[in-house]
Structure 1
Amino acid sequence: MEPTAGLMALDAALEKMLASLSPLTDAETLPLSQCFGRILARDISSPIDVPGFDNSAMDGYAVRLADLTPEKPLPVAGKAFAGQPFSGEWPAGSVIRIMTGAPVPAGCEAVVMQEEAQIVDDGVLIRATVRAGQNIRLRGEDIAKNAVVFKAGQKMSVAQVPVLASLGVAEVEVVRRLRVAVFSTGDELRLPGEPLDEGQIYDTNRLAVQLMLEQLGCEVINLGIIRDDPAALRQAFIEADRQADVVISSGGVSVGEADYTKTLLEELGEISFWKLAIKPGKPFAFGRLPNSWFCGLPGNPVSAALTFYQLVQPLLLKLSGAQPVAPLRMKVRAAGRFKKSPGRLDFQRGVLRNGEDGQPEVVTTGHQGSHIFSSFSQGNCFVVLERERGNVEPGEWVTVECFNHLFGG
């Protein structure tokens, strides 16, 4: 069993973080076409009824129930189309040919679909049983005038924006984008394309964090790689705090690392350095700088991505005013063995798939080292293994959390 003294549970860390935050109140008004992916700053009420008039749900015939007599054809007195309603006089004992979406004529009690009507020499013969109100969409049936359509905190997606367009809404008040400054620390880091000397590695964490921030709709301030130098680090933190709502660094939060991050942060703000009871991702820092919030991610690539996903993502969503969404988790059978030592909540990467019996099952992506970032591209879910759990054998039940859009889910 791993030593667990002094380790903070993930739920406790997340609760402590979120309790200290208040959502942004700054808002801006944008044209509807520019609101995709943005968070509503205010409730939106419908200015109109939807539909705005009683209309036909089918191509067919508008009828009055009193006119219907078995085996008696009814003449067609006119036609009604979407955008071209029937406006003439509707004689008794007749029907109106009507198309889907067309306003029903005054006095119409039902619409008979054309498949239930037979065209004969003298008009139309209705053979089916007709119920009052059938195939008629009533005014305000979808959305009533003045009803709240979307609440503040709703993210505008393909499911929401067209609804607002159908209401005639041209502008929307949304929360301004979060400004997030991000940088990596370490003399060993190099940019992709540069040659590597002995002991050097490419900086992948900052790119991964930037991409996830962009997926979350943040405005990213990329400050690059900061060398392990007190003056350079101090200037980077001061500049990041001046520009951003949130500052995220990668590296320099592990106990015993040869850097100056911890000393500088404690001098500049109020920062807590936590050892989390999760794997990967034990070292994490959170706190307040003079003008911004700070999150310090571990240096290992998988640890950085995991702590961003499980801790920073909900932090950013709360700051942006988004409605909270609990991660979707479910129990499935393990189709292979998962190696684990008791002591920390383990987020292994797995592949959720359909088994031969048609039921969902999960297998590992392979080696789970905190440097194996390819496990995210190979997998589609986290296999969430409880803190005190040991090895998992095939056939046992495990909890999986499907990747969301940050990892292409």
Structure 2
Amino acid sequence: MTTSEDISRCVPEHDAQALPVAQARAIVRRWAQPVATAERVALRASLDRVLAEDVISPIDVPSHNNAAMDGYAFDSAVLADPAPGGSAELELEVAGQALAGHAFTGHVARGQCVRIMTGATIPAECDTVIAQEQTVRTGERIAFDARRISQGSNCRRAGEDLARGRAALTAGRIVRAADVGLLASLGVAEVAVHRRLRVAFFSTGDELRSVGEPLDTGCVYDSNRYTLGAMLARLNVEALDLGIVRDEPAALEAALRSAASCADVVLSSGGVSVGDADFTRRLFETLGDVGFWQLAMRPGRPLAFGRLWPTHRDDGLRPALFFGLPGNPVAVMVTFYQFVREALLAMSGAKVEAPLQLRATSSTPIKKRPGRTEYQRGVATRAADGTWLVAPTGSQGSGVLSSMSRANCLIVLAHEQGDVAAGAPVEIVPFDGLI
């Protein structure tokens, strides 16, 4: 069995009682290895899936030289022809027209042009398009100021967006709506993606009741499972809700073993502190490998992380990654977005990018104790000069879930940082694109 003391030999300045956030992230990154299994899915089913291999373009995009706007296509060599009397005005004869999907099939002689529409194929003899609003047409002739146009203007070249044989999208990319359209434009009907990660989650606590049940004295409704289910849905994983598990060793052990046997990742909420009824951590040390279980952060100090073995270590089964999240609702969300989200993306085969972080000015003083990383709920606004201002939502208690609803960002206060004065700079992580 690997314990937090074993991990300490791999992590500089490890403190089993309060591991700094940066070191905890390093452990999670090392243990969150991608699931190798891949499958092919139809293009319409690829949204939010992770590409398992590069998608190579079978065609040039665009597939032909075409006009970037409505106008007249001609050979730019005529721009060098002297005009009578030294005038800059150039006259060309209109030889025909080219429409999108209906190319001009004739020959364009020197001194001629073709009326052309946006997206239409440019005739082989032409290399430049003059916008129609820059011309004056009289019968079958046009005139324009030759000084206002140069060779190659308003032409899109075959393959200039994407050349045949080049990677249109690379492995590890999470497919977005624009990507689906791009692949459709290449005629790609299906793509190889990593299988969806299976994530089992449950809550622990004798005081918890499910929504719809009577609320007995001293009991609370279990919001964490609904929060976790919603956050997991945003990551397009296969979420397995295992319900509420009572604070009994046998029930917890059965839940952990069952979850590890059917999922790649197991999430529990509650039961990882040092209270007498908190069995999860002790069971975890028996059933798996402990990476860490307390962090120097607020909210979220009691966070257990490691691996769970479904049965025995030598049975060839892959262990499930385990996160024992705190019981307080805000701490569940903060620890999920600081640790679990990145691990799930990495295990899904995605190229993980850190959430967007912005510099803002604190509108009010913020109390902060050095020696731990803090994530305070904040409301960020734009000042008249375009800079960001931010203020905490008020009470930062880890049970005040309404503060997460009011907030639009997290204020990130670094490990070594102390109190923040009004007007001082702070870092914020916007919720848009994250939650």
TM range (shorter): over 0.9
Q: Please report how far the alpha carbon of residue 6 of structure 1 lies from its aligned counterpart in structure 2 after TM superposition.
A: 3.2
Classify 1:337/1:26 alpha carbon distance in 2 versus 1 (closer, same or farther; 3 Å).
same
Q: Which residue of 2 aligns with 1:224?
A: 243
Q: Which residue of 1 aligns with 2:136?
A: 118
Classify 1:357/1:101 alpha carbon distance in 2 versus 1 (closer, same or farther; 3 Å).
closer
- Give distance in 1, aligned partners of 2:226 and 2:433: 16
Aligned length: 404
Within the candidate set 18, 24, 34, 1:13 is matched to: 24
Q: Is 1:284 aligned with 2:284?
A: no
Q: Please report how far the alpha carbon of residue 5 of structure 1 lies from its aligned counterpart in structure 2 after TM superposition.
A: 8.5
Q: Which residue of 2 aligns with 1:382?
A: 410
Q: Which residue of 1 aligns with 2:185?
A: 166
Q: Please report how far the alpha carbon of residue 263 of structure 1 lies from its aligned counterpart in structure 2 after TM superposition.
A: 2.7
Question: Cα deviation per residue 1:97-130 (whole Å; 9 max; x = unaligned)?
Answer: 0001100011102111101110124511122423
- Unpaired segments of 5 or more residues in structure 2? 1-14, 310-318
- Unpaired segments of 5 or more residues in structure 1? none
- Give distance in 2, aligned partners of 1:169 and 1:286: 41
Q: Which residue of 2 aligns with 1:64?
A: 75
- Give distance in 2, aligned partners of 1:357 and 1:236: 54
Query: Secondary structure at 1:73's aligned position in 2?
Result: strand
My pick for the range that moved more, 339-348 or 169-178, is: 339-348
Q: Please report how far the alpha carbon of residue 273 of structure 1 lies from its aligned counterpart in structure 2 after TM superposition.
A: 4.2
- Give distance in 2, aligned partners of 1:241 and 1:272: 16
- Give distance in 2, aligned partners of 1:338 and 1:154: 38
Q: Which residue of 2 aligns with 1:93?
A: 111
Query: Secondary structure at 1:75's aligned position in 2?
Result: strand
Within the candidate set 250, 260, 264, 2:269 is matched to: 250
Q: How does 1:295-310 map onto structure 2 within 5 Å?
A: 295-310=323-338
Q: Is 1:240 aligned with 2:259?
A: yes
Q: Is the 8 A contact 1:73 1:120 kept in 2?
A: no
Q: Which residue of 1 aligns with 2:121?
A: 103
Q: Please report how far the alpha carbon of residue 15 of structure 1 lies from its aligned counterpart in structure 2 after TM superposition.
A: 0.4
- Give distance in 2, aligned partners of 1:257 and 1:339: 32
- Give distance in 2, aligned partners of 1:71 and 1:354: 51
Within the candidate set 267, 277, 285, 2:286 is matched to: 267
Classify 1:72/1:273 alpha carbon distance in 2 versus 1 (closer, same or farther; 3 Å).
closer
Q: Please report how far the alpha carbon of residue 393 of structure 1 lies from its aligned counterpart in structure 2 after TM superposition.
A: 2.2
Q: Please report how far the alpha carbon of residue 192 of structure 1 lies from its aligned counterpart in structure 2 after TM superposition.
A: 2.0
Q: Which amino acid aligns with 1:106?
A: A
Query: Secondary structure at 1:266's aligned position in 2?
Result: helix
Q: Which residue of 1 aligns with 2:314?
A: none
Q: Is the 8 A contact 2:128 2:151 kept in 1?
A: yes
Q: Is the 8 A contact 1:273 1:283 kept in 2?
A: no
- Give distance in 1, aligned partners of 2:255 and 2:431: 32
- Give distance in 2, aligned partners of 1:387 and 1:257: 30
Q: Which amino acid aligns with 1:341?
A: R
Q: Is the 8 A contact 1:67 1:94 kept in 2?
A: no
Q: Please report how far the alpha carbon of residue 385 of structure 1 lies from its aligned counterpart in structure 2 after TM superposition.
A: 1.2
- Give distance in 2, aligned partners of 1:140 and 1:332: 42
Q: Is 1:33 aligned with 2:44?
A: yes
Question: Cα deviation per residue 1:303-336 (whole Å; 9 max; x = unaligned)?
Answer: 1111111011111111011102022222221112
Q: Which amino acid aligns with 1:97?
A: R
Within the candidate set 384, 398, 403, 2:426 is matched to: 398
My pick for the range that moved more, 23-32 or 127-136, is: 127-136
Q: Is 1:341 aligned with 2:352?
A: no
Q: Please report how far the alpha carbon of residue 390 of structure 1 lies from its aligned counterpart in structure 2 after TM superposition.
A: 2.9
Q: Which amino acid aligns with 2:181?
A: P
Q: Is the 8 A contact 1:31 1:172 kept in 2?
A: yes
- Give distance in 1, aligned partners of 2:336 and 2:219: 24
Question: Cα deviation per residue 1:180-234 (whole Å; 9 max; x = unaligned)?
Answer: 0000011000112322222211111111111111111110110000111222222
Q: Is the 8 A contact 1:42 1:173 kept in 2?
A: yes
- Give distance in 2, aligned partners of 1:375 and 1:137: 51
Classify 1:9/1:232 alpha carbon distance in 2 versus 1 (closer, same or farther; 3 Å).
same
Classify 1:38/1:72 alpha carbon distance in 2 versus 1 (closer, same or farther; 3 Å).
closer
Query: Secondary structure at 2:257's aligned position in 1?
Result: helix
Q: Which amino acid aligns with 1:262?
A: R
Q: Please report how far the alpha carbon of residue 158 of structure 1 lies from its aligned counterpart in structure 2 after TM superposition.
A: 1.5
Q: Please report how far the alpha carbon of residue 237 of structure 1 lies from its aligned counterpart in structure 2 after TM superposition.
A: 1.3
Q: Please report how far the alpha carbon of residue 359 of structure 1 lies from its aligned counterpart in structure 2 after TM superposition.
A: 2.5
Q: Which amino acid aligns with 1:241?
A: A
Identity in percent: 48
- Give distance in 2, aligned partners of 1:254 and 1:173: 42
Q: Which residue of 2 aligns with 1:366?
A: 394
Q: Is 1:134 aligned with 2:145?
A: no
Normalization by structure 1: what TM-score?
A: 0.95
Q: Please report how far the alpha carbon of residue 406 of structure 1 lies from its aligned counterpart in structure 2 after TM superposition.
A: 4.0
Q: Which residue of 1 aligns with 2:342?
A: 314
Q: Is the 8 A contact 1:253 1:273 kept in 2?
A: no
Q: Which amino acid aligns with 1:89?
A: H
Within the candidate set 143, 151, 174, 2:162 is matched to: 143
Query: Secondary structure at 1:311's aligned position in 2?
Result: helix
Classify 1:67/1:399 alpha carbon distance in 2 versus 1 (closer, same or farther; 3 Å).
closer
Query: Secondary structure at 2:335's aligned position in 1?
Result: helix
RMSD: 1.7
Normalization by structure 2: what TM-score?
A: 0.89
- Give distance in 2, aligned partners of 1:105 and 1:402: 50
- Give distance in 1, aligned partners of 2:96 and 2:59: 29
Q: Which amino acid aligns with 2:54?
A: D
My pick for the range that moved more, 284-293 or 34-43, is: 284-293
